[in-house]
Amino acid sequence: MPEILEAEAARQALESGALGRRVETVHAPDAWFLKRGLTPEALTAALPARKFTSARRRGKLLLLDTSGVGRSRTPGPVLAMHLGMSGRVIVDDAEAGDPLVYASNRDVPEWRRFGVTFADGGEMWLRDPRRLGAVELDPDEDRLGPDAFELSRAHLDAVLDRSGAPVKALLMNQSKIAGLGNLLVDEVLWRASIDPTRPARSLDRDERKRLKRAIADSLRILGRRGGSHTGDLTSVREPDAACPRDGAILQRRTVGGRTTFSCPDHQC
DNA sequence: GATGACCTGTGA
DNA sequence: TCACAGGTCATC
């Protein structure tokens, strides 16, 4: 997916488009898409007559709080949506965020894996060609670490100290820090001049400072530009591409199980 | 902590 | 036809 920046764009679309509208009908044609025991029947019992009251996000997980039914003050369940590798949120036929670079942007009806119709006639859908996204109710939000936008220096230090994994694998581990994916981590490490294979706990004070800075900078700058694929590095990632900083031919490896681009000259 | 599986579309 | 894809999970 959709990493944290695309999830945030989707959250904003939900916030401006889906709140305060009464759910009338649930569409869950793909039971495989529902996770942790959730069924279409349970969704149909849970959502109609409720309104979405807030659109939150933790890492890449989208969270919609729901109202009580009628005058009831007791809130309903939390609806969680994950975009997987190719998911997009659609509210009233408007698509959230930038087109996905590696995923199809066509709108094939069968790709609409989950949705609701509102009482006012509008709709909200999750479209996902590859079916790696997910819908669940009342997720355990604490299975995720702190959101990358809220990352503190102390937390970063703590997770680095506890791991001997390649720093790239650690940064992509959602239970440690939530939201960074393959592209963002490549961009972050490139900006911080750190080799992706470096054992996490081997980073010294200065490197940790650069890493923290690079995470904040990457989120801010790529967020403004329009997504994970708009980075200085991530916009050139292809075989034989040159480092945008010093011109060296980029190295292409598998680190943490994912294709990884880095500069052999300035990342060490 | 590393590996492979999951599912399906796209482009070479 | 094949390799590859920005994620996550179970398994060794």
A84 touches strand B (CB under 7 A): no
Q: Which residue has the tokens 């939201």?
A: A179
User: Would you say the C-beta of A164 is within 7 Å of strand B?
Assistant: yes
Whole-model pTM: value is 0.97
Q: pLDDT digit string (tens) for A116-140?
A: 999 999 999 999 999 999 999 999 9
Mean pLDDT across A9-36: 97
DSSP assignments along A37-97, one per residue:
T--HHHHHHHSTT-BEEEEEEETTEEEEEEPPSTT--S--PPEEEE-TTT-EEEETTEEPS
Considering only residues 8-47 of chain A, list those whose CB is below 7 Å from strand C: none
Alpha carbon distances (Å) from A258 to A95, A132, A164, A191 = 28, 16, 18, 19
| Nucleotides of B strand lying within 7 Å of any protein CB atom | 1-10
Tens of pLDDT along A59-115?
Answer: 999 999 999 998 999 999 999 999 999 999 999 988 876 556 666 778 899 999 999
Answer whether A69's CB lies under 8 Å from A145's CB. no
Q: Which nucleotide is nearest to A129 (CA to C1')?
A: B8
Look up tokens 């994970």; give the residue. A228
Q: What does the DSSP 8-state code read for residue A22?
A: B
Q: Which pLDDT tens digit goes with each residue over A175-224?
A: 999 999 999 999 999 999 999 999 999 999 999 999 999 999 999 999 99
Is the distance between the Cβ of A247 and the closest atom of strand B smaller than 7 Å?
no
